[in-house]
């Protein structure tokens, strides 16, 4: 176990270093710099920077230094936990991310859990009692849903429920400045407000995400149902329920947990398309804007954090997986 | 267009000062010059498409005009503009020295900062000194040599060279900041003190929701011009595709669009109205006059004749076309020269100019721009193959700054205010974002540019600026395809839009001139 | 097939030149323009027809290049000891970076055009399957029959050709379906985000143009601006899945080896012995990092570990390998769609 674990960790360490370097380099490969976001299309024309102001800003953000100096500074700052300052909207990157983290994490986590719960249940049921028309309908539906690009699902929802019916708000993640004239709204009101704002994006994510779980759980269950070792278990005289609980479920659970775990790791990458369509102030939207404005510090930070989360999820899955594999391996041994 | 028809003379004030008379030129806007009496409102919610950053002069977003206009509600400037021209603001009167190098301002009485401290001449002098070290990104103060207090309530600003645009472009745009806040701040970009947004304007910042790009401003009860008519002003960030819908659903009161057909969309809605601005936005081809074949003026003219600019404008704005002024200055604005050659659509003439030669020309354009799709067949018809390269704004910025292009499609605001931009675009050393890609060397034009900047007399300056436009029209270092209006959808029961002479700030077609919120 | 035919004959079928403004902008469908016109007055029907060509090119090239890369890297990493570490590092790096922002970033670096779009989608979508292929290689190498043929003196290359390559081909149909869908979605999504590069007409850029209009949903135009390209995308993706699954079920020599396919008649229970009605469910299994025929990319630790135990516990190894095959890969290219 030990040498394996060390090798594992060494590999991940190497990955972290690679991620750091890529995160530093890729944004700087972008054509144009943070101060080149000049005359945009009419509505977002940039500031007419004068030569002097430009020079001053370049030196303020260390953009005039050689790349390796910038890299050293970036790594040094990072080591001290300082993510730098955004260039397009002068504010500490750390604060910007902390502001947006709850939106992305809350939204994606919530919809991931719901999608996993609904999808898995439906998938298992559909596979365990196959052939029923509704089971086939369900699976076909999941398949069809998986054939629609995410942004079309999202826009469809906005169109029907926000634009036409007006049931849900068009704007943002919560009602801004809800506290008017001193009477601050209660906690319950605020929670409900956020839920009301995030319902549609969550539904979109659940719709798209649940179809994966349905199909995955269906396949996993179907694959396991007639496995010889289940037959063995049955022949031992176990009741069907016991068979499912003690033998089938652990085997279905593993791929699902793995899948969910890895999806969890990608949560910090944000849900760019969903955030864009529903105007949710999450990390995806932040990095989208940062690419447009060449905001290196934000790009570095968001990419680094989301890569780190992805690595952590992978590591976790790998460790859990090792343990589970051993256990179920010995169970059949 | 009538141009500069009315002039008004403000008497220089007497006293120990060198009493020169100062003329302020006032020209009516073509439309909306007279504003209805502004309505009173408890709350106005204003939607803009992008986040405005932190509202201090040093931390405001450099992306788009939303931040600079927001600042104008929080901060005051020495002069301001109404629908007809420059008006006194924090400076109740002023005088220029005969050589145009010094301006002396006498400040209004009773102006205070949001924290209650009085606004003094020291604050004004401090502001210019501070901006020399920490530039205001929206307007350079490089022309200013120094500023000092002459006596209580009086400030003299000395310029490095005579600058005709000073009153409109510097005195009218640069926010005066409180000395007691910034004096001890060495790094204003990073400053996070709770007093960082303290200004002297009609509104004070009450809340800033950074995550959602939302700002809540409350009326400054002690405002020196009187109690504002609007009690609370909010600026919200709403994506372009939701702007009109948000105002229809009552989530905001004022929203933005560039598409004229918004009128049809709203025709059934009696509650809302549309305010159209002067065409202060320009969509143009920047031309690198140093790259063959575009170094030949015949080719540039051929392109102008080959493009059916009227149809391009009508198709994209869905409104009667405002064909681009070949002198860059848009029609309906104070400095427009109406007697330039029109370059009407004439493909035969284009073919003649090209003399049967075929050319392949590269165009860089924004990914979403539709103009190239219309231009391609038109140019193909006269023998020019247009190769379109799609880039985003920052990439284009870099290519244009480095002169690494042949043709570039760019669209922006910032034309229509003081015409000094005609000089700055082609002055070369200044990296003006709007001037990007302006590669054109012409001795007469450069000299005229210097000349107009140093000419305080409006009539003489006008003649020079008109001649500059003629040169642009002959030489075509840029081809204006069309001009755009902004269409503001608003609820007239809470908001009265206002047109500003030449646009707010430096040609920004926003409807929320603070005069409309404060009353006159 | 229909799409291919339409694409091939696009110039003949299209009633108008899709690049020319042949009508009033935003006109509703008429006899002249069966699906109306877009914001520039171009004929929507002609654009949908020409878009079929674009979708074939993008999907074809992306899938081809991405698949080739997956196999090349996977086989190399599985066989060449020295290449394994660096190749897997690159693979892992690409898997770990957030997918959608990465596509967005890289496409901005390269500039928006169809060529670059294809390059980006192809170059960033191979890692998941490279891992899978490598896992299969590792498993097959240590399988008894391969060891036996090695013991009999077969050369490495012939082992690859005779045993390993066929084994990896099991996952090929899945890879193809996933990548075709990924390419079509990726193109449409990036076009929606404004990176399509409107130089070429595709369903993605058509949607991009439609959604660029802030007043799109305030006018009655979306039924003919949005629905045709959107439905075309959905139809092609569904068709791809069905076609692939059908041919897969028809069974080449390779497919019979797949344990899950072998099971498939039983999978759907007693009532569905006929193959016909099972299309959609079967299609479903091709969607995903499916359980079937897809070894876990992460499994080499296990495989290696188990293999390391030597023959004393062969049973466990078999179980372990079979077991690992139930696991989905690390967030793979379809992650771009799931949570960009």
Neighbours of A328 (CB within 10 A): 19
Tell me which residue in A52, A91, A294 faces B210 most closely, judged by beta carbons. Answer: A91
pLDDT tens figures, A111-156:
888 988 888 888 877 777 767 787 778 777 887 888 888 888 888 8
The pLDDT of residue B268 is: 84
Q: Please judge whether C198 and B370 are an interchain contact, meaning their C-beta atoms are less than 8 angstroms apart.
A: yes
pLDDT confidence band for B429 (50 / 70 / 90): low
The pLDDT of residue B302 is: 96
Residue A69 domain flag: no
The pLDDT of residue C284 is: 32
Residue B13 pLDDT more than 50? no
The pLDDT of residue B178 is: 97
pLDDT tens figures, B80-121:
999 889 999 999 999 999 888 999 999 999 999 999 999 999
DSSP state of C313: G
Rounded percentage of chain A residues whose pLDDT exceeds 70:
80
The pLDDT of residue A185 is: 66
Please report the DSSP string for B61-77 in residue order.
-SBSTHHHHHHHHHS--
Q: Nearest CA to CA, how far is A69 from chain C (Å)?
A: 22
Beta bridge mates, B274: B489
Residue C131 pLDDT more than 90? no
B434 in A contact zone (CB under 8 Å): yes
The pLDDT of residue A42 is: 42
Residues in CB range of A208: below 8 A, 6 or more apart:
A145, A146, A150, A153, C337, C338
Residue B313 pLDDT more than 50? yes
Q: Dig out the tokens for B466 from the structure.
A: 């008109």
pLDDT confidence band for A333 (50 / 70 / 90): very low
Q: Which residue has better confidence, C277 or B455?
A: B455
Residue A194 domain flag: yes
Which of A236-250, A286-300, C212-226 holds the top average pLDDT?
A286-300
Residue A239 domain flag: yes
Residues in CB range of A153: below 8 A, 6 or more apart:
A145, A204, A207, A208
d(CA B342, CA B327): 10
Range of the domain at A106: 95-332
Q: Please judge whether B261 and C198 are an interchain contact, meaning their C-beta atoms are less than 8 angstroms apart.
A: no
Residue C281 pLDDT more than 50? no
Taking Cα atoms as reference points, which of A278, A47, A48, A249 lies closest to residue A157? A278
What average pLDDT does the segment B169-185 reach? Answer: 95
pLDDT confidence band for A275 (50 / 70 / 90): confident
pLDDT tens figures, B359-415:
999 999 887 788 999 999 999 999 999 999 888 878 887 888 788 899 999 888 888
The pLDDT of residue B520 is: 67
Q: Please judge whether B368 and C40 are an interchain contact, meaning their C-beta atoms are less than 8 angstroms apart.
A: no
pLDDT tens figures, C49-59:
888 888 888 89
Q: Please judge whether B53 and A89 are an interchain contact, meaning their C-beta atoms are less than 8 angstroms apart.
A: yes
Beta bridge mates, B148: B156
pLDDT tens figures, C285-333:
333 333 222 333 333 333 333 333 333 333 333 233 333 333 333 333 3
Complex ipTM tops 0.90: no
CATH of the domain at A130: 1.10.3720.10
pLDDT confidence band for B64 (50 / 70 / 90): confident
The pLDDT of residue A44 is: 44
Residues in CB range of A192: below 8 A, 6 or more apart:
none
d(CA B327, CA B467): 9
What average pLDDT does the segment A257-279 reach? Answer: 75
Residue A49 pLDDT more than 80? no
pLDDT confidence band for A38 (50 / 70 / 90): low
Residue A284 domain flag: yes
Domains and CATH numbers, chain B: 6-33+52-193 (3.90.76.10), 281-484 (3.10.105.10)
Cα distances from B18 to residues A235, A252, B154, B165, in angstroms, run 112, 91, 13, 21
Residue B195 pLDDT more than 90? yes
Q: Dig out the tokens for C268 from the structure.
A: 């759907």
Instruction: Phi first, then psi: give them for residue B159, nearest 5 degrees.
Output: -100, 160
Give the chain A residue whose CA is nearest to the CA of C315: A333
> Is B205 in a helix, a strand, or coil?
strand
**By the 8 A CB rule, do B233 and B211 touch?**
no
Which of A231-245, A280-294, B454-468, C15-29 holds the top average pLDDT?
B454-468
Comparing A102-116, A270-284, B506-520, C2-16, which segment has the lowest mean pLDDT? C2-16
pLDDT confidence band for A9 (50 / 70 / 90): confident
**By the 8 A CB rule, do B287 and B477 touch?**
yes
pTM, rounded to two decimals = 0.81
Q: Please judge whether B370 and C41 are an interchain contact, meaning their C-beta atoms are less than 8 angstroms apart.
A: no
C166 in A contact zone (CB under 8 Å): no
d(CA B18, CA C270): 106
Task: Name the C residues in 204-243 with CB < 8 Å from any B CB.
Answer: 208-209, 211-219
The pLDDT of residue C298 is: 37
The pLDDT of residue B374 is: 93
Q: Nearest CA to CA, how far is A156 from chain B (Å)?
A: 14
Q: Which residue has better confidence, C173 or A42?
A: C173
Contacts of A279 in chain B (CB under 8 A): 238-239, 242
What is the tally of structural domains in chain A? Answer: 1
Cα distances from C268 to residues A135, A215, C190, in angstroms, run 11, 14, 38
The pLDDT of residue B230 is: 94
Residue A47 pLDDT more than 90? no
Q: Nearest CA to CA, how far is A169 from chain B (Å)?
A: 9
Q: Which residue has better confidence, A307 or A220?
A: A307
A317 in C contact zone (CB under 8 Å): yes
Residue A245 pLDDT more than 70? no
Residue B358 pLDDT more than 80? yes
Which of A161-170, B363-372, C211-220 holds the top average pLDDT?
B363-372
Tell me which residue in C25, C197, C217 faces B367 most closely, judged by beta carbons. Answer: C197
Q: Nearest CA to CA, how far is C205 from chain B (Å)?
A: 10
Residue A72 domain flag: no
Residue C198 pLDDT more than 60? no
pLDDT tens figures, B469-493:
999 999 999 999 999 999 999 999 9
What average pLDDT does the segment A163-185 reach? Answer: 66
> Is A7 in a helix, a strand, or coil?
helix
The β-bridge relationship of strands B384-391 and B359-366 is parallel
What average pLDDT does the segment B347-367 reach? Answer: 93
What average pLDDT does the segment C106-130 reach? Answer: 84
Q: Which residue has better confidence, C25 or B509?
A: B509
Sign of the four-CA dihedral B403, B409, B412, B416: positive
Residue A50 domain flag: no
Residue B196 pLDDT more than 50? yes
Residue C254 pLDDT more than 90? no
pLDDT tens figures, C32-86:
888 888 888 888 888 888 888 888 888 999 999 999 999 999 888 888 878 888 8
Beta bridge mates, B361: B386
Tell me which residue in A30, A225, A263 faces C331 most closely, judged by beta carbons. Answer: A263
Residue A42 domain flag: no
The pLDDT of residue B433 is: 54
Neighbours of B474 (CB within 10 A): 14
pLDDT tens figures, C155-181:
777 777 777 888 888 788 878 888 888
**Alpha helices (runs of H) in chain A, residue ranges in sequence order:** 2-29, 51-60, 67-79, 93-128, 133-145, 150-157, 187-225, 228-235, 240-242, 249-265, 272-278, 283-293, 296-332
pLDDT confidence band for B322 (50 / 70 / 90): very high
Which of A265-274, B16-25, B223-232, C173-182 holds the top average pLDDT?
B223-232
Q: Which residue has better confidence, C147 or B28?
A: C147
A182 in B contact zone (CB under 8 Å): no
Rounded percentage of chain C residues whose pLDDT exceeds 90:
5
Q: Nearest CA to CA, how far is C217 from chain B (Å)?
A: 9
Q: Dig out the tokens for B375 from the structure.
A: 């231009």
What average pLDDT does the segment B455-465 reach? Answer: 92
Q: Dig out the tokens for C277 from the structure.
A: 């009605």
The pLDDT of residue C216 is: 79
Residue A9 domain flag: no
What average pLDDT does the segment A181-186 reach? Answer: 58
Mean of per-residue pLDDT scores for chain A: 77
Rounded percentage of chain B residues whose pLDDT exceeds 90:
60
What average pLDDT does the segment A8-12 reach? Answer: 83
Residue B8 pLDDT more than 70? no
């Amino acid at each position: 176990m030990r040498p394996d674990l060390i090798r594992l960790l060494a590999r991940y360490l190497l990955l972290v270093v690679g991620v750091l370097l890529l995160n530093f380099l890729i944004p700087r490969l972008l054509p144009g710099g943070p101060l080149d976001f000049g005359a945009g299309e009419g509505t977002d024309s940039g500031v007419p920077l004068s030569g002097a102001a430009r020079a001053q800003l370049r030196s303020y953000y260390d953009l005039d230094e050689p790349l390796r100096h910038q890299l050293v500074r970036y790594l040094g700052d990072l080591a001290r936990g300082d993510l730098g300052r955004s260039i397009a909207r002068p504010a500490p990157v750390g604060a910007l991310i902390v502001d947006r983290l709850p939106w992305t994490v809350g939204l994606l986590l919530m919809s991931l859990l719901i999608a996993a719960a609904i999808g898995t249940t439906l998938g298992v049921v559909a596979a365990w009692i196959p052939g029923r028309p509704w089971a086939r309908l369900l699976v076909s539906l999941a398949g069809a849903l998986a054939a629609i690009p995410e942004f079309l699902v999202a826009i469809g929802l906005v169109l029907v429920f926000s634009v036409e019916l007006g049931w849900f708000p068009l704007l943002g993640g919560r009602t801004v400045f809800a506290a008017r004239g001193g009477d601050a709204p209660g906690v319950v009101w605020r929670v409900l407000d956020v839920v009301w704002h995030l319902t549609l994006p969550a539904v979109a994510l659940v719709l798209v995400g649940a179809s994966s779980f349905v199909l995955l759980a269906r396949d996993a269950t179907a694959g396991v149902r007639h496995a010889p070792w289940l037959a063995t278990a049955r022949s031992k005289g176990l009741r069907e329920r016991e068979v499912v609980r003690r033998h089938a479920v652990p085997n279905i659970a593993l791929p699902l947990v793995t899948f969910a775990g890895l999806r969890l790791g990608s949560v910090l990458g944000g849900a760019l398309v969903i955030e864009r369509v529903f105007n949710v102030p999450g990390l995806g939207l932040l990095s989208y804007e940062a690419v447009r404005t060449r905001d290196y510090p934000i790009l570095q930070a968001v990419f680094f954090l989301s890569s780190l989360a992805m690595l952590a999820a992978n590591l976790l899955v790998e460790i859990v997986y090792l343990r589970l594999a051993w256990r179920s391996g010995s169970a059949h041994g | 267009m009538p141009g500069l028809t009315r002039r008004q003379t403000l008497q220089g004030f007497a006293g120990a000062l060198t009493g020169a008379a100062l003329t302020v030129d006032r020209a009516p806007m073509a439309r909306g010059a007279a504003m209805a009496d502004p309505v009173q409102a408890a709350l106005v919610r204003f939607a803009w498409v992008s986040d405005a950053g932190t509202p201090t002069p040093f931390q405001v977003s450099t992306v788009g005009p939303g931040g600079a206009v927001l600042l104008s509600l929080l901060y005051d400037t020495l002069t301001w503009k109404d629908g007809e021209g420059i008006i006194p603001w924090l400076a109740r009167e002023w005088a220029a020295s005969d050589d145009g190098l010094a301006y002396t301002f006498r400040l209004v009485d009773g102006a205070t900062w949001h924290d209650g401290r009085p606004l003094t001449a020291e604050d004004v002098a401090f502001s210019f000194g501070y901006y020399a070290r920490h530039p205001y990104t929206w307007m350079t103060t490089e022309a200013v040599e120094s500023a000092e207090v002459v006596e209580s309530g009086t400030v003299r600003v000395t310029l490095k060279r005579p600058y005709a645009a000073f009153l409109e472009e510097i005195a009218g745009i640069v926010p005066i900041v409180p000395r007691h806040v910034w004096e001890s701040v060495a790094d204003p970009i990073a400053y996070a003190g709770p007093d960082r947004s303290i200004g002297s304007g009609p509104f004070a910042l009450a809340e800033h929701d950074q995550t959602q790009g939302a700002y809540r401003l409350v009326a400054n009860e002690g405002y020196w011009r009187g109690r504002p008519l609007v009690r609370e002003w909010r600026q919200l960030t709403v994506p372009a595709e939701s702007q009109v819908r948000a105002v229809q659903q009552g989530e905001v009161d004022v929203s933005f669009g560039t598409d004229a057909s918004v009128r049809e969309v709203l025709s059934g809605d009696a509650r809302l109205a549309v305010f159209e601005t002067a065409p202060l936005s320009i969509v143009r081809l920047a031309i690198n006059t140093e790259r063959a074949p575009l170094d030949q003026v015949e080719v540039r003219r051929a392109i102008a004749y080959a493009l059916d600019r009227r149809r391009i404008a009508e198709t994209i704005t869905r409104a009667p076309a405002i064909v681009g002024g070949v002198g860059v200055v848009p029609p309906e604005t104070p400095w427009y020269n109406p007697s330039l050659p029109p370059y009407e659509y004439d493909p035969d003439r284009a073919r003649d100019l090209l003399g049967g030669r075929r050319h392949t020309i590269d165009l860089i354009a924004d990914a979403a721009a539709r103009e190239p799709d219309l231009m391609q067949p038109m140019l193909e018809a006269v023998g020019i193959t247009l190769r379109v390269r799609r880039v985003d704004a920052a990439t284009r910025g870099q290519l244009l700054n480095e002169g690494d292009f042949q043709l570039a499609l760019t669209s922006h605001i910032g034309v229509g205010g003081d015409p000094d931009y005609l000089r700055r675009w082609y002055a070369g050393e200044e990296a003006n974002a709007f001037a990007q890609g302006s590669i054109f060397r012409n001795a007469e034009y450069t000299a005229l540019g210097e000349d107009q900047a140093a000419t305080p007399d409006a009539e003489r300056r006008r003649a020079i600026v008109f001649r500059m436009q003629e040169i642009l029209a002959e030489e075509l270092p840029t081809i204006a395809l069309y001009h755009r209006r902004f269409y503001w959808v608003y609820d007239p029961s809470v908001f009265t839009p206002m047109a500003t002479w030449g646009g707010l700030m430096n040609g920004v077609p926003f409807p929320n001139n603070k005069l409309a919120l404060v009353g006159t | 097939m229909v799409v291919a035919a339409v694409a091939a004959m696009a110039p003949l079928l299209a009633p108008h030149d899709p690049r020319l403004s042949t009508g009033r902008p935003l006109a509703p469908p008429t006899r002249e323009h069966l699906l109306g016109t877009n914001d520039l007055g171009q004929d929507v029907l002609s654009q949908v027809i020409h878009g079929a060509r674009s979708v074939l090119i993008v999907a074809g090239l992306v899938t081809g290049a991405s698949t080739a890369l997956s196999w090349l890297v996977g086989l190399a990493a599985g066989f060449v000891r020295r290449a394994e570490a660096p190749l897997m590092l690159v693979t892992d790096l690409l898997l770990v970076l957030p997918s959608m922002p990465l596509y967005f970033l890289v496409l901005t670096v390269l500039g928006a055009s169809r060529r670059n779009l294809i390059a980006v989608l192809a170059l960033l979508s191979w890692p998941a399957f490279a891992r899978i292929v490598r896992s299969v290689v590792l498993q097959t190498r240590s399988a008894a029959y391969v060891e036996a043929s090695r013991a009999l003196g077969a050369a490495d290359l012939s082992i690859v050709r005779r045993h390993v390559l066929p084994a990896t081909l099991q996952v090929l149909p899945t890879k193809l379906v996933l990548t075709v869908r990924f390419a079509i979605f990726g193109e449409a999504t990036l076009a929606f985000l404004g990176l399509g590069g409107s130089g070429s007409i595709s369903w993605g850029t058509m949607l991009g143009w439609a959604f660029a209009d802030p007043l799109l949903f305030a006018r009655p135009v979306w039924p003919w601006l949005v629905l045709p390209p959107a439905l075309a995308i959905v139809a092609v993706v569904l068709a791809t899945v069905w076609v692939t699954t059908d041919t897969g079920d028809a069974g080449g020599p390779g497919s019979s080896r797949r344990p899950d396919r072998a099971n498939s008649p039983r999978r759907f229970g007693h009532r569905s012995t006929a193959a016909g009605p099972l299309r959609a469910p079967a299609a479903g299994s091709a969607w995903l990092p499916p359980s079937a025929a897809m070894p876990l990319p992460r499994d080499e630790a296990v495989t290696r570990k188990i293999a390391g135990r030597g023959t004393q516990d062969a049973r466990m190894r078999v179980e372990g390998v079979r077991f690992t095959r139930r696991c989905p890969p690390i967030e793979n290219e379809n992650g771009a769609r799931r949570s960009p």
